[in-house]
Structure 1
Amino acid sequence: MAQFTSPTIEAPASSNLFASITDASVLDQTVEEVLGLMLEVPVQVCETAVSPTNIPVTLTAVIGLAGALSGAFTVVVNEPGAKQITACMMGIEVSAVDDTVLDGLGEIANILAGAWKSKIPTLSAACLLSVPTVVTGTHYDIHKKMSTFKLARSYRFQDSTLSITLYGEQP
């Protein structure tokens, strides 16, 4: 995977947990393992973040985080990307965004969030994940409670871009 030297991270440094949560290499490794190894989809880190508002038709899967970390893990992808991920995951041809694609994107977000938190020992057993919620539309914003940190990364796979953002605060 390509190296990326300056991820988008906003937060005060306050603990070892914070350092682990905002370590972009942990997220990069997770994405590479899930998409690269499990789905056999080559992944590269984008040199610049892709804002969800710059993606014409977006699908966003949101996973809530509670416990040792309170916040959200979001996965944003365009329509072709959601169909590509689902096709790779299910081993079927996908021609339209339907319930299968929405469920597929939610499941990939769930797998990514679970794999990411399992790499951080403090979170592994002390942070719960919600059931995924998938939002579709054009040029929408996700509003959240004030966060003490934000980690945002974008990845290229096949012909699409996938953006992951972690928002949260330590209780």
Structure 2
Amino acid sequence: MREGREDMGVSLRESVELIADPRNLDASVEEVFHTMMGGTCLREKDPAVPYTPESVTAVVGFGGLFSGACVLRSSAETARLLAERMTGMEFVELDDTVRDAFGEICNMLAGAWKGRVPNLAGHCGLSVPAVITGRDYNIHVQSPEFRVHHFFSLDGARFDVTIICDGLR
């Protein structure tokens, strides 16, 4: 109950411009990929991310004063390459280890992003990553308050990251 009382005095509504600032997403991607994979991500202007018939999407939900999600999406091949960079292991297929690594990358991105806004960091929790693989699927959020969606590449491996806010208190 004590934690609930502390949250009642905090509002993120007046910080929406800071929270929705696209530079926070870019800085979070750079931080995670530089620290965990020793590489530099380039922000892509061309949104045409070439996906193979099987794509991979990791989703980490935000809960608390901010609700929404961090979504990481790529081809199966890029997911495999990112897992190799992160773990130092070699993968020949999209297996459970690759999916777990991809979900953990999304988790680190969500944590880095929410850590950029002090009130958000202290009053917003993260869900366990969910990883979806397959073809021809969409993730839909009804009437988001804001959405930041950028495309990136790391050594030619292209992916996109989206922050979706569906509720802000």
TM-score band by shorter chain is 0.7 to 0.9
Aligned length in residues: 156
Q: Does 1:55 align with 2:51?
A: yes
SS where residue 152 of structure 2 aligns?
A: strand
Aligned residue in 1 for 2:44: 46
CA distance in 2, matches of 1:30, 1:148: 20
- Displacement of 1:45 after TM fit? 0.2
CA distance in 1, matches of 2:48, 2:63: 27
Structure 1 gaps, min length 5: 1-13
Moved over 4 A (4+): none
Q: What's the Cα RMSD here?
A: 1.7
Q: Answer whether contact 2:37 2:85 (CA < 8 A) is retained.
A: yes
Q: Mapping of 1:129-144 within 5 angstroms?
A: 129-144=126-141
Q: Answer whether contact 1:59 1:78 (CA < 8 A) is retained.
A: yes
CA distance in 1, matches of 2:100, 2:62: 19
TM value normalised by structure 1:
0.85
Q: Mapping of 1:25-104 within 5 angstroms?
A: 25-50=23-48, 55-56=51-52, 57-104=54-101
Aligned residue in 2 for 1:165: 162
**Identity value in percent:** 33
CA distance in 2, matches of 1:15, 1:70: 12
Aligned residue in 2 for 1:149: 146
Q: Answer whether contact 2:66 2:124 (CA < 8 A) is retained.
A: yes
Aligned residue in 2 for 1:4: none
Structure 2 gaps, min length 5: 1-11
Q: Answer whether contact 1:55 1:139 (CA < 8 A) is retained.
A: no
Q: Which amino acid is 1:39 matched to? A: M
